[in-house]
Structure 1
Amino acid sequence: MSAPVQVGPSSSSGGPAPLEDLEDLLADIGDRVRAERQFRGWTQAELAQRAQLGTVALSSLERGRPTLLSTLVLACTALGVDLAHVMSSDWREPERGPSMTPQQAVVLREAAAGGSLTEIGARLDMTAAEVGSTLTRVYQRLEVTHVPRAERRAAAVRMAVQHGLITPQKRTS
């Protein structure tokens, strides 16, 4: 049997854990399905019939061949969620947080880099008024309009990063 591979958020960073070897993970899952089938004394044909699968699909699963399962594993990894959690009966729809349009995210990311509305606009080929209007909508969506004006931009950036709407910018020294 193959060594298990962690899929989903890592315990240290909270972000998606790297998927070390998808082939090993698929082989491990296939081994587990085969072991469960053999424990019950069923043939592949019996399990395929009970699961309403074709025997070719079941055989592919047991051999760890890329299937819909690999697509599910890759999607869960990219989302940073644990595969077992998604498959669990305990799964609940995530609470919806604030959102931004892609354009608003671009403007907020640029605003996080600093500068006046005119400077940000020049970097984005926008007018200062367009940048200001976009930031106002961002502040409303992120519910930071109550924050003092001097701190509002930083509060919006923190909120957007916290909700995964933008990624933190890495500082270059």
Structure 2
Amino acid sequence: MDKIPPFRLRNPNQLVKQIGQRIRAHRKGRGWTQAELAERSGISLSTLKLMEREGKGSLQRLAKVAVILNLDGELRELFAATPAYATLDDVEATHRSR
């Protein structure tokens, strides 16, 4: 049986919207307005609004907001569980053995 959930349960659009909602929650938890967070993180207010509402924005801008909200540790660990490979051949060998 396939252990990967169907795509409809792993919707990237829904994921980015949830990230935006979490950014909003952390911002509000600090008592900051959107304008304050935008200024502190060095991104435009319109970009922050899009990020919070629709999850739209670049990875660079997400990193800036995460640092200001003191969430960069979580962002750093996003892919930390991934095993390190010495060479590309090691990566390809892993895929072949599956």
- TM-score, normalisation: structure 2: 0.58
Q: Residues of 2 paired with 1:56 and 1:29: CA distance?
A: 17
Of structures 1 and 2, the one scoring higher in RCO (CA 8 A, sep 6+) is 2
Q: Max radius of gyration: which structure?
A: 1
Structure 2 unmatched ranges of 5 or more = 60-72
Identity %: 28
RMSD of aligned Cα (Å): 4.0
Q: Which residue of 1 aligns with 2:46?
A: 56
Does residue 76 of structure 2 align to residue 87 of structure 1? yes
Decide whether aligned partners of structure 1 residues 94 and 28 sit closer, same or farther in structure 2, where only a CA change above 3 A counts.
same
Deviation for aligned residue 1:49: 0.9
Partner AA of 1:41 in structure 2: G
Deviation for aligned residue 1:98: 5.5
Q: Residues of 2 paired with 1:59 and 1:85: CA distance?
A: 22
Q: Which residue of 2 aligns with 1:25?
A: 15
Partner AA of 2:44 in structure 1: G
Decide whether aligned partners of structure 1 residues 88 and 39 sit closer, same or farther in structure 2, where only a CA change above 3 A counts.
same
- TM-score, normalisation: structure 1: 0.36
Decide whether aligned partners of structure 1 residues 65 and 29 sit closer, same or farther in structure 2, where only a CA change above 3 A counts.
closer
How many residue pairs align between the two structures? Answer: 82
Decide whether aligned partners of structure 1 residues 29 and 98 sit closer, same or farther in structure 2, where only a CA change above 3 A counts.
closer
Q: Residues of 1 paired with 2:16 and 2:79: CA distance?
A: 23
Structure 1 unmatched ranges of 5 or more = 1-11, 70-83, 100-141, 143-158, 169-173
